[in-house]
Amino acid sequence: MKMCIACGMPMTAIADYPLLDMSKNYCKHCAHKDGTMKTFDEKWHEVTLQYAQNHNVDNAVAKQTAYIILKKLPAWKRRW
Ligand SMILES: [Zn+2]
């Protein structure tokens, strides 16, 4: 089973892949409409909002946590 390199989500079904393309290493949530992978900044923003909502913390904390979460994933390890 593959795991999305950009968010860590397990990709178990073809529907999890961008444009149903199973050769991709990232999931549909991490892809633009045209199938290309989102940037670190885009994912950082998304994960921050999600985390702030799910854990009821303020934006600064969520942003910091989101950064740590993303930096553990293969897509972003070498950047920054
Ligand atoms: Zn993903």
Residue pLDDT, tens place only, 59-74: 999 999 999 999 999 9
How far, in Å, from the CA of 18 to the mean position of ligand 1? 9
The pLDDT, as a whole number, for residue 6 is 97
For residues 59 and 43, the answer to whether their CB atoms sit within 8 Å is no
Give the DSSP letter of residue 10: E
Is residue 4 within 8 Å of 27, Cβ to Cβ? yes
Percent of the chain predicted with pLDDT > 70: 98
Q: Could you tell me the pLDDT band of residue 1, with boundaries at 50, 70 and 90? A: confident
What spacing in Å lies between the alpha carbon of 11 and ligand 1's midpoint? 9
- Expressed in angstroms and rounded, the spacing between residue 57 Cα and the centre of ligand 1 is 23
- Cα 21 from Cα 10, distance rounded (Å): 15
Query: φ and ψ at 62, to 5 degrees?
Result: -60, -40
